[in-house]
Chains A and B, each alone.
Chain A
């Protein structure tokens, strides 16, 4: 196909309806995504390598060694109305997990309920799609994946840089901090879908760093 492995992003789709799973799978594959579908939030968490019991140990990473996530998941798209764990419950669990909270999550629903939509967005969902999902909706996924990729790359870069400068001190602390700020600023400017999402991002970040997930509370489904 000529597509490099880097551009093959992997989406995990969660929906209890078989028809909707078929649909979303086809929609995503048509847009060159790799797709895994599961029929429940519980199975989604299993696939992602998260166990309920580990949530109580906030110091230890919540991913169990034997079921460590082999395949990277770049985005999760989930139905809202599902028996047992709803899409909203799943969203919360993902955002509460130290290993998973950076994966962008999108919610789908057949019903247009404004309070539902804002609740999901407040909890950290990137988008809310009304069903039936259209190709134009799928086109909106890429920026969310790229934003996370850039952030990851930036973090990696920082780590590498710090390693490099570790032994001989070439830069003073002030110079280093200034450089970091410049890089950060530069990367932010590169984001095309500017003001609106940035505002949303800034609005959300205090919530994301809320110590909620460090409280060691086990959420009961």
Chain B
């Protein structure tokens, strides 16, 4: 009963999405991304999210690197990284990550190193959670496509 499998997987996906929305992890912008995906660009969401992961991890490394410096004082540089992180998070609908960036930026503007460290921990956790959930989402989607494809090879 492969068709049933595809339907059940779709339901699983929707449930996960609903949860993420409810938790505020994702917002409407993520839906916009999905709407931009179609037959001419079938991997759009995955592509963009993977770029986001790649860039975010680089930014997190940079931020940690800065704060771990013994004589750290370049809050301006930190602000630049944070702006970039905020922008990209906002662009894919990663609401909670973005909100932590906002708080982080506020601490940075006050040259509050301890506050920045706390914010960085929080940011790393939020990012981790987001990444895991999005991977889960993509996995379900992949399985669903396979299941649907196996039953109706002509269908998307």
Tell me whether A20 is interfacial, beta carbon within 8 Å: yes
Which chain B residue lies CB-closest to A30? B36
B63: min CB distance to chain A, Å: 17
Tell me whether A85 is interfacial, beta carbon within 8 Å: no
Q: What does the 1/0 interface line of B38-76 toward A look like (CB < 8 Å)?
A: 101100100110011001000000000000000000000
Kindly state the separation between the CA atoms of A20 and B48 in the bound complex, as whole angstroms: 9
Tell me whether A131 is interfacial, beta carbon within 8 Å: yes
Q: What does the 1/0 interface line of B72-103 toward A look like (CB < 8 Å)?
A: 00000000000110111011110000000000
The reply to whether A110 and B51 form a contact with Cβ atoms under 8 Å apart is no
Kindly state the separation between the CA atoms of A17 and B80 in the bound complex, as whole angstroms: 13
Kindly state the separation between the CA atoms of A60 and B10 in the bound complex, as whole angstroms: 63
Band of interface residues on B:
20 to 34
Total contacting residues, chain A, CB less than 8 A:
16
The reply to whether B91 and A131 form a contact with Cβ atoms under 8 Å apart is yes
Residues of B within 8 A of A (CB): 29, 32-33, 35-36, 38, 40-41, 44, 47-48, 51-52, 55, 83-84, 86-88, 90-93
A-B contact pairs, 15 of them (CB 8 A): A18-B51, A19-B52, A19-B91, A20-B87, A20-B88, A22-B47, A23-B33, A23-B36, A26-B41, A27-B36, A81-B83, A110-B87, A132-B29, A134-B32, A135-B35
